[in-house]
Amino acid sequence: MNIGQASAATGVSAKMIRYYESVGLIRPAARTDSNYRDFSDRDVNDLRFIRRARGLGFSVEEITRLLSLWRDGERPSREVKSMAEAHVAALDARIAEMQAMADTLRDLARCCAGDERPDCPILADLAARP
């Protein structure tokens, strides 16, 4: 199937498919006589796997490792579980950081009159903090 068909079948844009190919996340697609990419069923399955992994926030490097583990029928599941748990811990840390940012902004917005006066605790806080 060509890149447009692969894109439609996987939900991965043609631009991202070319990117994944350029960084080695997927193998280079076979080429037709007219030099169009020709994606196999394996390529499409890989793209679906990548899309799902990206949707869960895994990095390209992590997905490279996950793809390798997925293809290895003899792999121990403990490595995959370890990667997933590390990713969850990183997500939890990011969530806590973002919650703290939201709490800070909520407090600053509550202190701001939001009227015609130039006084603004939000801007004052931004200017005061490194």
pTM of the complete model = 0.81
Question: 129: pLDDT confidence band, cut at 50, 70 and 90?
Answer: low
pLDDT digit string, tens, across residues 55-78: 999 999 999 999 999 999 999 999
Q: What is the 3-state secondary structure (H, E, C) of the chain?
A: CCHHHHHHHHCCCHHHHHHHHHCCCCCCCEECCCCCEECCHHHHHHHHHHHHHHHCCCCHHHHHHHHHHHHCCCCCHHHHHHHHHHHHHHHHHHHHHHHHHHHHHHHHHHHCCCCCCCCCHHHHHHHHCC
Mean pLDDT, residues 70-89: 95
Question: 88: pLDDT confidence band, cut at 50, 70 and 90?
Answer: very high
| CATH of 1-75 given 3.40.640.10, 3.10.450.50, 1.10.1660.10, 2.40.10.220 | 1.10.1660.10
